[in-house]
Structure 1
Amino acid sequence: MRFLGNVLAVIVGLLIFSVLSFFILAGIIAIASSSDDEVKVKENTVLHLNLDGRTLVERTSENDFDLSSLSAFGGIPSVGLVNLKKAILTAKENENIKGIYLQAGMVIAGQAILQELRAELEDFKSSGKFIISYGEIYSEGGYFLSSVADEVYMNPMGGMDFNGFASEMVFLKGMFEKIEVEPVVFRVGEFKSAVEPFILDKMSDESRLQTESFLNDLNNIAMTQIGVSRNIPFEKVNEINDQMLIRKPQDAVDLKMVDGLWYEDQVIDLLKERLGLGEDDSINTINVKGINKTSKSKNRLSKNRIAVIIAEGEIVSGKADGMISSEKFAQEIKKARKNKDIKAIVLRVNSPGGSVLASEVIWREMAEAKKVKPVIASMGEVAASGGYYIAAPADTIVAQPNTITGSIGIFGLWFNAQGLLNNKLGITTDVAKTGELSNFMSATRKLSDLEKSIVQKNVEEGYDTFITRVSDGRNMSKDSVLKIASGRVWSGLQAKENGLVDILGGLEDAIAIAASKAGISQDFRVVYYPEEKPWFEQFLKELTDEVQATYTRTQLGTLFPIYQQIEKVKKYEGIMVRMPYDITIQ
């Protein structure tokens, strides 16, 4: 049996190796054959933006070959906001592009990133070119983006999720009670509810208050813009949304939310008509990567540069990939500060926060950079807690009205696993020590009052430091900061009213401010950091991540979200400056 098992293992290994080799070879051939090809936009061309089922992130690779084309592993392909905006601007300026065919019904993105992309599409329309949207099913966010189009069509058997925003939290208190693990919490601020999933079985009144407050802001912003685009009064759009009046496809037509219930071939015929083509003619289309190859960087020979450092993910210590690791990002900011050709720095933040120590390391480099050149913070979807901490030193903070920010608070979390070990597993421990605190914060017993007091004092001192960082960066008194802190989360609109944000806008606004402050408004080029890794290295990492995530998701099924929550707990080392919870708006 062991022999047969070994033979089977070898066969499986060879099969996997063969599949990987095929994809790798295909990628090499694709790149080798296309890297030198010059892309030309044919006359009468349509830019096809197919975002349906894709996740919007800050930036993705410009390489020809990426894992998003390999759906065999069940991963969700992603597309970068920077890449999309570049494509739309290029299409606006290219006379051969006549319009955009937008498919974004089930795009996966938060409101602020959709807002930024929507503004770029609005600007595209100012050129007089058309945007036609089609979707089989529209999610709330997908429709928010798609409603900017001149005409919106939906499949006759499709649907529209248009019933307002909701944010659902997962609570783990009952699970910890069953396995006899005791979470011990240290926090400052009545709104610092990041620890609530571990100690409660429902939202606290404070958490519900802040969540409903910013959700209402985000919803009103979306309803206002949809109303303007569709020429429907805000009150009517709000009524449709609040009462979920779109319950079948024809409702969307009757309420003027879509222009017709069409199949895609009918929409293609409409595009042909717009382009002056015959029934049997083919439409010239180009995608994001194709049109971006034709783009010529503004002032590409200029020595003046603006560094845009994209900080996306959780804030952690060290050099971890896929997150805002303190060592890596502090080094990026330091290099930009010392580079004489870089005249200003824009930190693009999309983060719920993380380690207070890692946030402080990045804050230090931001503060040092501010002494020698303009430093601007641009907030994306989320820039809260540690995300706000690292943005605080900036000369100017720019956020979208529906950015989620604030959460100026701090917490510590520890678990007593004595019950699990002793009662569930039959494991006991004993210790010999030289001092009263030699086994400080051991997870195999209850904490002493002295240990609790030491940790709580550290949390309170960390909170005071956080308040000071914001007070100094925003030129506000500490008392003024305390009134809007306590861990409370704000929308970008609320944050501006409270003095936490200077200007409502997107990344391009932040870049323009940086150029103006540096005195190079007309003569500069934008360079993005961190620099992209070689495509092959990215490919292997993405492939590994996709296989692992797909396997775990398949094994756990509906329990996968809880598994993700527990995995995040493992990253909670030391004192944390993090959002109340991971906000998923439905």
Structure 2
Amino acid sequence: MKEFFKFMLASIVGVIIAGLLLILITIGIISAVVSVSDQPVSISSNSLLFLKFDYDIVDRAKKSPFEGLDFGMFQGEKEVGLNDLLDCIRKAKNDDNIKGIYLNPMDIQAGMASVEEIRNALKDFKTSGKFIYAYGEYLTQKAYYLVSVADTLAMNPQGSVDFRGLGGEHTFYKKALEKLGIEVQIIRHGKFKAAVEPFILDKMSNENRLQTETYLKSIWNEMLTDISASRHLSVAELNAIADQVSSFRRADFAQQKKLVDRLKYKDQVINDLKKLTDTPDREDLNAIDIHKYVKVPEPRTQKGLARKKIAVIYASGSIDASVSGDGIKSEDLSRTIREARRDSSIKAIVLRINSPGGSAYGSEVIWREVKLAAQSKPVIASMGDVAASGGYYIACAANTIVADRTTITGSIGIFGMIPNVQKLMTDKLGITQDVVTTNAHSDMISLTRPMTTFERDLMQQTIEDGYQTFITRVGEGRKMVIADVDAIGQGRVWAATDAKGIKLIDSYGGLTEAIALAKKMANLENYRIINLPKQKDTFEELMKEFSGSAKASLLKDELGENYKYYQQLHSIISEKGIMARMPYDIDIH
């Protein structure tokens, strides 16, 4: 027995030592990876900036130690910040080592407004006299919209261009919920507040169809206008091509209709690029991708760091309601805005919003800090792909609102949804409940019975009060009569081109234009940009990747395109209180 305990103890000690060694080795590997990833990158002369767009484009990428890496368990997320992408294109414009940009997308994993901003940055790059060469085997509509800005657009002879007009797809859950025995009880204000429709209807209401058609046509017209200018085709000609559905036609059809310039194989494209960069035939092209080029240091135009700053504060995701936990936390964001307001070295704030809304209370908390900040220094709201409902709520107090022409905004309205699972519990599962209360409505709000008339009336009054607060905030911020806000509110969604005419926004532009406006309003010459909120350090982010959002990442990998349905259902389950949110998650094809 003595020998047994001796060997068992030795085994335990061995396991502990082996575990400690494994931890130390892992930390060493991570430290090495982080050290390498933080090193500046040098670039050769006659180089190409290679943009393949095989990554998600978000307003601001997370600070991941494995960004752009791909080996074993340390596979980095394929995610690039729009801010980094725009900075790289601007940097390449003035970089003597960069001779041009090579675009090779199939699809663009970003919203329309983000694609518009990238396209505008590429247009600005061309003013340097450098070339943009684009090549595709197959191009989706968003990808084609982007690459149509290129000087030369080549396509594989067996490829095709997806060009057929825009379509928006809405998913309805009413019949599925009925089969499960779940009733969704709705309290809302506004005939256009269609966020509740998927749970009470099996198709779009007339009002929802009207608003959807309106903003889709607005976005499509803006796309056609840009493509028309670049490809020297009239809008009428482009619509005629779309009606013929080039998506299922050969590449020679796209060339015949002047959608592309040349039909070439990849080796021929490489030869073209070698000629454009003066690269000898026997040598490889010097191409650098976005993950490396972002680490190429930019020459300083002044000594030291400028003291005066413009703070770009990012507000991305649902407000206090996110599947992965990466959305907007009202307390955290309001604290960031408050600290920026109190910081005397920050002379202007750009609030970058990419949010469909969320909690009405959370929106109010953020709105208050935006209002206070706008009273002490210039605050410019820069709208990304979506800045609607709660996303618009937090923007309306800014001094100026700037949006891309393809931004989705508005949706001024609020709602509440309370599921009643009584039939599911009783009829389907055989589970019953009994309640004891001290007062008449102590069990309000119950998920296992229908609301009483008193409860519904009380909730409706809460919604009406919340809506009145919302339109009052908009009226104050936009200097509009409240009745006029109500007329364009009612939960209606608008494209930015329509929103400008009804005074919901002030001007068109992306993040670049918003920063330029902040500079002008604050009367700055020498300044630097800081991005807020401060991101977690490398090891905090690493721990998060191994836990928390790792679950969402795993589900996204497993479910693919169907992940959006999980998100929608999860958000409904997790929502609490009154919501100021977009009618639905817009998926434009």
Give the structure-1-normalised TM-score.
0.92
Counterpart-to-counterpart distance in 2, 1:517 and 1:305: 13
Q: Displacement, 1:238?
A: 1.8
Q: Displacement, 1:44?
A: 1.1
1:67-466 equivalences in 2 (<5 Å): 69=70, 77-246=78-247, 247-292=249-294, 293-296=296-299, 301-316=305-320, 321-466=325-470
Counterpart-to-counterpart distance in 1, 2:115 and 2:148: 11
On the 8 A contact 2:66/2:77 being kept in 1, the answer is: no
On the 8 A contact 2:393/2:473 being kept in 1, the answer is: yes
1:106 is paired with a residue whose SS is coil
Counterpart-to-counterpart distance in 2, 1:553 and 1:310: 23
1:223 is paired with a residue whose SS is helix
Counterpart-to-counterpart distance in 1, 2:510 and 2:330: 25
Of the three residues 28, 33, 48, the one matched with 1:30 is 33
Structure 1 partner of 2:10: none
Of the three residues 468, 472, 475, the one matched with 1:468 is 472
After superposition, the Cα gap between the structure-2 partners of 1:560 and 1:507, relative to the gap in structure 1 and judged at 3 Å, is: closer
Q: Displacement, 1:549?
A: 4.2
1:53-68 equivalences in 2 (<5 Å): 53-61=54-62, 65-66=66-67
Q: Does 1:567 align with 2:570?
A: yes
Q: Displacement, 1:560?
A: 4.5
Counterpart-to-counterpart distance in 2, 1:121 and 1:509: 14
Counterpart-to-counterpart distance in 2, 1:111 and 1:195: 25
Counterpart-to-counterpart distance in 1, 2:27 and 2:138: 35
After superposition, the Cα gap between the structure-2 partners of 1:542 and 1:156, relative to the gap in structure 1 and judged at 3 Å, is: farther
Q: Displacement, 1:287?
A: 2.4
After superposition, the Cα gap between the structure-2 partners of 1:376 and 1:231, relative to the gap in structure 1 and judged at 3 Å, is: same
Q: Displacement, 1:558?
A: 7.8
Counterpart-to-counterpart distance in 2, 1:168 and 1:226: 24
2:574 is paired with a residue whose SS is coil
On the 8 A contact 2:475/2:482 being kept in 1, the answer is: yes
Structure 1 runs not aligned, ≥5 long: 1-15
Q: Does 1:578 align with 2:571?
A: no
1:570 is paired with a residue whose SS is helix
Counterpart-to-counterpart distance in 1, 2:145 and 2:457: 49
Task: Kindly provide the amino acid, as one letter, of the partner of residue 185 in structure 1.
Answer: I
After superposition, the Cα gap between the structure-2 partners of 1:550 and 1:477, relative to the gap in structure 1 and judged at 3 Å, is: closer
1:87 is paired with a residue whose SS is helix
Q: Does 1:478 align with 2:482?
A: yes
Structure 2 partner of 1:9: none
What root-mean-square deviation, in Å, do the aligned CA atoms of Structure 1 and Structure 2 show? 2.6
After superposition, the Cα gap between the structure-2 partners of 1:315 and 1:553, relative to the gap in structure 1 and judged at 3 Å, is: closer
On the 8 A contact 1:45/1:283 being kept in 2, the answer is: yes
On the 8 A contact 1:67/1:542 being kept in 2, the answer is: no
After superposition, the Cα gap between the structure-2 partners of 1:181 and 1:22, relative to the gap in structure 1 and judged at 3 Å, is: farther
Q: Displacement, 1:160?
A: 2.0
Counterpart-to-counterpart distance in 1, 2:22 and 2:379: 47
After superposition, the Cα gap between the structure-2 partners of 1:546 and 1:240, relative to the gap in structure 1 and judged at 3 Å, is: farther
On the 8 A contact 1:66/1:539 being kept in 2, the answer is: no
Structure 2 partner of 1:539: 542
Structure 1 partner of 2:4: none
Counterpart-to-counterpart distance in 1, 2:75 and 2:588: 23
Counterpart-to-counterpart distance in 2, 1:39 and 1:174: 56
Task: Kindly provide the amino acid, as one letter, of the partner of residue 518 in structure 1.
Answer: A
Structure 1 range deviating more: 127-136 or 17-26 = 17-26
Q: Does 1:44 align with 2:46?
A: yes
Q: Displacement, 1:50?
A: 2.0
Structure 2 partner of 1:11: none
Counterpart-to-counterpart distance in 2, 1:180 and 1:297: 65
Counterpart-to-counterpart distance in 2, 1:563 and 1:112: 24
On the 8 A contact 2:193/2:413 being kept in 1, the answer is: yes
Counterpart-to-counterpart distance in 2, 1:511 and 1:83: 14
Deviations 1:493-539 (CA, angstroms, capped at 9, x unpaired): 1100110000111112111221222121x121111101121123223
2:49 is paired with a residue whose SS is strand
Structure 2 partner of 1:530: 533
After superposition, the Cα gap between the structure-2 partners of 1:106 and 1:17, relative to the gap in structure 1 and judged at 3 Å, is: farther
Task: Kindly provide the amino acid, as one letter, of the partner of residue 577 in structure 1.
Answer: A
Counterpart-to-counterpart distance in 2, 1:319 and 1:556: 14
Q: Displacement, 1:250?
A: 1.6
1:315 is paired with a residue whose SS is coil
After superposition, the Cα gap between the structure-2 partners of 1:63 and 1:184, relative to the gap in structure 1 and judged at 3 Å, is: closer
Counterpart-to-counterpart distance in 2, 1:545 and 1:447: 35
On the 8 A contact 1:353/1:577 being kept in 2, the answer is: yes
Counterpart-to-counterpart distance in 1, 2:579 and 2:27: 40
Structure 2 runs not aligned, ≥5 long: 1-18
1:159 is paired with a residue whose SS is strand
After superposition, the Cα gap between the structure-2 partners of 1:311 and 1:302, relative to the gap in structure 1 and judged at 3 Å, is: same
Q: Displacement, 1:585?
A: 0.5
Task: Kindly provide the amino acid, as one letter, of the partner of residue 35 in structure 1.
Answer: D
Q: Displacement, 1:263?
A: 2.2
Structure 1 partner of 2:551: 548
Deviations 1:305-343 (CA, angstroms, capped at 9, x unpaired): 111001100011799841111010000000000001001
Q: Does 1:499 align with 2:500?
A: no
Q: Displacement, 1:69?
A: 3.5
Task: Kindly provide the amino acid, as one letter, of the partner of residue 526 in structure 1.
Answer: I
Task: Kindly provide the amino acid, as one letter, of the partner of residue 490 in structure 1.
Answer: W
After superposition, the Cα gap between the structure-2 partners of 1:296 and 1:69, relative to the gap in structure 1 and judged at 3 Å, is: farther
2:418 is paired with a residue whose SS is strand
On the 8 A contact 1:49/1:102 being kept in 2, the answer is: yes
Task: Kindly provide the amino acid, as one letter, of the partner of residue 578 in structure 2.
Answer: I
Structure 1 range deviating more: 306-315 or 278-287 = 278-287
On the 8 A contact 1:73/1:550 being kept in 2, the answer is: no
Give the structure-2-normalised TM-score.
0.91
